[in-house]
């Protein structure tokens, strides 16, 4: 694969575990305004083009199996890869055990989080928009993995300086955890900049996940990545993938 077309997590994953984040510059065929590696079937893009793009990702990364794509709904449901059927299951996180497993999360500002156990036998992936993050999607993913010594990587999401939110979002975190106020900086009356990365690290710490890397991205300002807040209905979706060797 071409190194400049992918973001590779800066973590120390066990041998045999791979991970990568696609960018819009990969081997895709989507036309403007989605050009070119849009992977979201529900983004308004031509469905045939998205399917071609998904196959191109699997081939370029040399994946051992097709990814488990989810129909994400900003909830906290976690699905085991063995329970998924042919269609995209409705869930916002997934876990898999054993060799030859591939998980995928689609985002365009929300926070994708990848997980791996110390022995590399169990992997997880979660979609953490503010609603899912506040409701506990990361905690649910860790619980479903049922593994020791889990580490996590925080993928590309909208950065704090670009993410202004209202009282509803701040209250969703601070009402149950006063310390979460550290993740919010006042911008104007009733509005704050929100640091999803800070909130995610705080949530992960409560369930014993202290090995957390990644963060520092900003999808709104990074032209390699899709951003719904920047592009609106014309935004595609990029994927954060994790897999175990065959």
pLDDT digits (tens, 9 = 90+) for 142-168: 999 999 899 999 999 999 999 999 999
Give, in order, the Cα–Cα distances in Å from 177 to each of 154, 171, 183, 211: 21, 9, 11, 22
Domains, the chain, ordered by start: 3-244 (3.60.140.10)
In degrees and rounded to multiples of 5, residue 79 shows phi and psi of: -115, 140
d(CA 38, CA 45): 8
pLDDT digits (tens, 9 = 90+) for 199-229: 999 999 999 999 999 999 999 999 999 999 9
């Amino acid at each position: 694969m071409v190194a400049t077309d992918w973001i590779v997590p800066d973590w120390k994953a066990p041998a045999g575990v791979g991970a990568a984040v696609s960018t819009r510059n990969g081997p895709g065929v989507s036309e403007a305004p989605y050009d070119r590696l849009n992977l979201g079937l529900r983004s308004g893009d031509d469905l045939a083009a998205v399917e071609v793009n998904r196959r191109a990702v699997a081939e370029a990364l040399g994946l051992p199996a097709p990814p488990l794509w989810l129909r994400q709904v900003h909830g906290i449901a976690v699905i085991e890869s063995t329970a998924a059927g042919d269609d995209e299951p409705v869930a916002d996180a997934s876990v898999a055990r054993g060799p030859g497993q591939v998980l995928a999360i689609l985002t365009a500002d929300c926070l994708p989080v990848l997980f791996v156990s110390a022995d590399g036998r169990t992997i997880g992936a979660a979609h953490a928009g503010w609603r899912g993050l506040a409701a506990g999607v990361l905690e649910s993913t860790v619980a479903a993995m049922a593994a020791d010594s889990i580490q996590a990587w925080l993928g590309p999401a909208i950065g704090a300086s670009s993410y202004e939110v209202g009282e509803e979002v701040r209250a969703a975190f601070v009402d149950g955890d006063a310390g979460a106020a550290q993740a919010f900086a006042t911008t104007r009356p009733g509005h704050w900049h929100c640091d999803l990365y800070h909130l995610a690290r705080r949530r992960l710490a409560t369930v014993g996940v202290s090995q957390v890397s990644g963060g520092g991205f900003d999808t709104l300002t990074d032209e390699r990545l899709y951003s719904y807040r920047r592009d609106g209905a014309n935004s595609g979706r990029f994927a954060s993938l994790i897999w175990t060797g065959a």
